[in-house]
Amino acid sequence: GESVGLHLPTLSVQEGDNSIINCAYSNSASDYFIWYKQESGKGPQFIIDIRSNMDKRQGQRVTVLLNKTVKHLSLQIAATQPGDSAVYFCAENMPPGNQFYFGTGTSLTVIP
């Protein structure tokens, strides 16, 4: 699994609506996944993680779903706020060690 294309998908949502960001990962051996949020000029910020023995995990306003059958990951953000505007990346880890491969990223814009 390696990286990333040249085109950054975009998603625009109204403030207060729910957002769903999708990610297809590449390696069936990946055992751990993280969603990151990256704002302009900053490093990626950890949002939520999930291990391959789970199919759903919830955090504060965020839920991650994992479908290993089709190698698909999604991030759901409830009641999206303007501060959620950023680029969101999914990252898959291939064991052993910490060797994360990142998706292309999705640019989320929240319309007030």
Can residue 99 be called a binding residue for other proteins (CB under 8 A)? yes
Can residue 97 be called a binding residue for other proteins (CB under 8 A)? yes
Q: Residue 8: is it exposed, middle or buried by C-beta count within 10 angstroms (0-12/13-18/19+)?
A: exposed
Report the residue from 9, 11, 13, 31 that binds other proteins according to the rule CB under 8 A. 31
Interface with other proteins by CB under 8 A: which range of 16-24, 32-40, 61-69, 78-86? 32-40
Can residue 106 be called a binding residue for other proteins (CB under 8 A)? no
> How many whole angstroms separate alpha carbon 29 and alpha carbon 8?
26
Can residue 96 be called a binding residue for other proteins (CB under 8 A)? yes
Residue written as tokens 């751990």?
32
